[in-house]
Amino acid sequence: MRGIDVGHSGTDADVVIAGAGPTGLTLACELRLAGVDVVVVERLAEPSGESRAGGLHSRTLEVLDQRGVLDRFLAAGELQPVGHFSGLYLEFDEFESRHPYPLMILQSAVERILEEWAGELGVRIRRSCAVTGVDQDASGVTVALDASDGGPATLRAGHLVGCDGGRSTVRRLAGIGFPGTEATMTALIGDVELPDLPEDYVWIRRRAGGDYSAIAFEPGWHRVITSEYDRVVDRDEPVTFEQLRDSLVRLAGSDFGMRNPRWISRFNDAARQADRYRSGRVLLAGDAAHIHFPAGGQGLNMGVQDAVNLGWKLAAVVRGTAPEGLLDTYHDERHPVGERVLHNTRAQSALARPGAQTDALREVFGSLMVFDDVNRLLRTMLNALDVRYPADCGHPLAGRRVPDADIKEAGGATRVYELLHAGRPVLLDLGAGVAAVAGDWSDRVDLVEAHGEDDAWPVPVIDEVPTPTALLIRPDGHVAWASGPGEPVDTVALRGALTTWFGAARRG
């Protein structure tokens, strides 16, 4: 499906995105779905092919489902009913999400599928183009490029979004601070062959100096990770196969015949966050806005979710249906989410440190995790199923992700996420009779009249709520306003929510 181009004059694009990683590609797709003209500029000539992230979490699977592209990812990965908090197992609950399990899929595959989708939507991607300069004024942003693709060396756009990773050039050029905590350890990671490993799978084995694991992810291939504490290596020092082998020998007493490295990298537990996600016409998303220990595999997932929060807002501002101020809600909503992830990864890093005290702490923590309330708190936090944005509505669903409940409309049975494929807001009328209100926003908000198939809807953290009578659902799947059974529909509040999120009514 191709988006519909909105007009733009005197610019090369409505929006320039720096970086064709998972965040930049997701954002580009979201903007194109809304008809925005977008150019992605990427420093690399080809995708790096680095495997990096190993999984997509429940909420990411849900947002891909909301766009109708989830099947592509499911076909390229494998669902695994295990998760962990600092290596301690978490259980999942099928009641909380239609996609309760993480999908094991390498980042390279995620990027390939996103790039294919972006191509279908008509996203322009310029490779071998690195952002080197940013100059914003009242009417737009001029982006200077080190371009060897034969295209122009400057681009003029309404907005620039830096999705250019943890060492973001855009962030630096925009003068946005990146405070946080320093690394206290060094981890090495490699996709290698381990012919002498006696087991298929080694899950975090703790030793005096740190820990190691070796996880089979493809026939014949293992992902080896070694973590050594109080050994902090300069981040610019090259990573070598010998370093990985030496580290494994130090921790495991053997290199298990390690050979044929396909990819080797290094990471640590430094945790930093941009102090502002927006500076005028320049915004940040993904690793450009936050870096942290990859414990629990939250980084890529959070970047995709940043993009889904920002996309529809930026599109509305570009189209002129919402004021620039809507973009501030991107910072207001996503900065606390990032802050909380930094917090939980710091906790996971602390729980992973070697030593008798931490061994004891892990045992105590692990014994708490068998209690369902503790397990639920941790799994919904790591899977971002409990994220609740501020909302001026007292309904328990307001601000939360909408459950993917079964509903029946005139065309037959469907489910809520099917309604969000176009990336447009939906006013779902389940008997409240709000069609008259919807008419004033019919150019921007889709009205769907249906009835609920279930008596109650599952909501992580609060178990369930009675089926609502009406819901205003944002394109990112969060509930802007809801009305419950047995209460009069507050049309003033509904009009207020429509105006806040989707701009003024067409008339009156």
Ligand X SMILES: Cc1cc2nc3c(=O)[nH]c(=O)nc-3n(C[C@H](O)[C@H](O)[C@H](O)COP(=O)(O)OP(=O)(O)OC[C@H]3O[C@@H](n4cnc5c(N)ncnc54)[C@H](O)[C@@H]3O)c2cc1C
Positions touching ligand X (CB under 6 A) are: 18-24, 41-44, 52-55, 107, 130-131, 163-165, 169, 189, 265, 267, 286-287, 294, 297-301, 303
Q: Which is nearer to ligand X, 69 or 489 (CB)?
A: 69
Q: Rounded to whole angstroms, how far apart are CA atoms 219 and 214?
A: 13
CA separation for the pair 3, 29 (Å, rounded): 9
Closer to ligand X by Cβ: residue 131 or 327: 131
How many CB atoms lie under 10 A from the CB of residue 338?
A: 24
Closer residue to ligand X (CB): 17 or 430: 17
Eight-state DSSP code of residue 5: P
Nearest distance in Å: CB 344, ligand X: 13
Least distance to ligand X, CB of residue 13, Å: 15
Nearer to ligand X, 143 or 391 (CB): 143
In angstroms, the Cα distances linking 238 to 143, 189, 244, 262, 413 are: 31, 13, 12, 16, 56
Which CB, 52 or 478, lies closer to ligand X? Answer: 52
- Angstrom CA distances, 12 to 27, 126, 150, stand at 18, 13, 15
- The least distance separating ligand X from the CB of residue 414, rounded to whole angstroms, comes to 30
Comparing CB distances to ligand X, the nearer of 215 and 351 is 215
**Which is nearer to ligand X, 131 or 426 (by Cβ)?**
131
Residue 324 C-beta: closest distance to ligand X, Å: 24
Q: Rounded to the nearest whole angstrom, what is the least distance from the CB of residue 80 to ligand X in the complex? A: 12
Q: How far apart are CA 338 and CA 309, in angstroms?
A: 13
Residue 309 tokens read as 């929060």
| Smallest distance, ligand X to C-beta of residue 189, A | 4
> What is d(CA 480, CA 459) in angstroms, rounded to the nearest whole number?
15
Q: Which is nearer to ligand X, 232 or 422 (CB)?
A: 232
| Nearest CB to ligand X, comparing residues 159 and 395 | 159
Q: Residue 126 forms beta bridges with which residues?
A: 41
Element at 71 (helix H, strand E) = helix 70-75
- In whole angstroms, the minimum distance from the beta carbon of 73 to ligand X comes to 13
Phi, psi at 127, each rounded to 5°:
-90, 170
- Cβ of residue 184: shortest distance to ligand X, in angstroms? 17
For residue 225, which of 209, 236, 214 has the smallest C-alpha distance?
A: 214
C-alpha to C-alpha distance for 360 and 227, rounded to whole angstroms = 19
CB of 102 to ligand X, least distance (A): 9
Ramachandran quadrant class, 227 (left: phi over 0; alpha: psi -120 to 50; beta: rest): beta
Q: Which residue intervals of 282-385 are DSSP H helices?
A: 299-319, 326-352, 356-369, 372-382
- Count Cβ atoms within 10 A of the Cβ of residue 75 and give its class: 0-12 exposed, 13-18 middle, 19 or more buried: exposed
For every residue of 141-158, DSSP letters joined together read EEEEEEE-SSS-SEEEEE
Of 160, 130, 165, the closest CA to residue 15 belongs to 160
Cα separation, 344 vs 447, whole angstroms:
39
Residue among 52 and 67 whose Cβ is closer to ligand X: 52
Shortest reach from residue 46's CB to ligand X, in Å: 10
